[in-house]
Amino acid sequence: MINTRNILSATFHVIALIHNVHAIGYCHFSFKENVEEDDGVDQRILDMKNFGMLFFTSWNMIIQILYFSLAVLSDILRFSYSKSTLIEKILRLRGYFYTSMLFPCSIFVCTMFWGVYSINREWVLPSVLDKYVPDWLNHCLHTNIIIFLTIEVLLVNQFIPSYKSSLLGLTVLTLIYDTIFFATYFLRGRWIYGIFHFLSWPERIFFMLFNYLIVLMTMRIGIVIENFKYNQLTKNKKYTSNS
């Protein structure tokens, strides 16, 4: 059934998808076009150019693009077919992406980036990059993601997968990212995050484990929120049917 809420969520999904594609596209191609590799270029600028897609911010934007692509597809199918097995499968896949990746990773990127930025911005976004990463792009990558997530929580009720399957998905994502992250250092000799230059190896391992625990707890919070919404919706339906 198509209602005002469905129209609002569909419109929002299209806007969010266009926003994220534009942001990651601009961020990636602006470096390719504007930075020339010569002796006068700061190494941190070259790191952003060469390893830009290895930053977890970029990974989170890809997760957002995948999620909102599924959301747009499900909206289109919902408007075309009132009931469909395909729609249910896409909604379940969308719910899995939301629970295991979108919710925890978006909150982690936003809070971790701005938290470290407030302490020492040179660890996450050195001032030499301001020429290539303007304020509006920085907010697209690190602030708007949490705004979009909040709107999604308010507008959409998700199919929530089991905790074990969500835990598995998030853990696999973390292991893949951490493997690539450390492999970049061992193969190219560069830490893509400045803060790692000032940490010892035990501190680096602890920091990565701490980050993993943070996203796990955040994922759990997302599940609690969706379960609460489901319970409230169920109560409202019961109240309506009995009144």
- Which of 175, 171, 129, 159 lies closest to 229, judged by CA? 159
N- to C-terminal Cα separation, the chain: 23
> Can you tell me the distance from the alpha carbon of 179 to that of 210, in angstroms, rounded to the nearest whole number?
16
Please report the DSSP string for 98-151 in residue order.
IIIIIHHHHHHHHHHHHHHHHHHGGGTS-GGGTTTS-HHHHHHHHTHHHHHHHH
Mean pLDDT of the chain: 89
Instruction: Encode pLDDT of 159-188 as tens digits.
Output: 989 999 999 999 999 999 999 999 999 999
- Which of 137, 221, 211 lies closest to 174, judged by CA? 211
> Which pLDDT score, from 0 to 100, does residue 82 have?
62
Q: Residue 92 is part of which domain span?
A: 4-242
Q: Grade residue 11 by pLDDT with cuts at 50, 70 and 90.
A: very high
Instruction: Encode pLDDT of 77-98 as tens digits.
Output: 888 776 678 888 999 999 999 9
Q: Grade residue 2 by pLDDT with cuts at 50, 70 and 90.
A: low
Instruction: Encode pLDDT of 98-152 as tens digits.
Output: 999 999 999 999 999 999 999 999 899 999 888 888 999 999 999 999 999 999 9
> Which pLDDT score, from 0 to 100, does residue 6 have?
83
If one counts the domains in the chain, the total is 1
Structure-token match 């996450």, residue found: 124
Helix locations, the chain, DSSP H: 4-34, 43-51, 56-80, 85-97, 103-120, 135-142, 144-155, 163-188, 201-242
Instruction: Encode pLDDT of 52-73 as tens digits.
Output: 899 999 999 999 999 999 999 9
> Which pLDDT score, from 0 to 100, does residue 37 have?
62
Instruction: Give me Rg for the CA atoms of the chain.
Output: 20
For 206, residues 6+ apart whose C-beta sits below 8 A from its C-beta are none
Q: Is residue 239 scored above 50 in pLDDT?
A: no
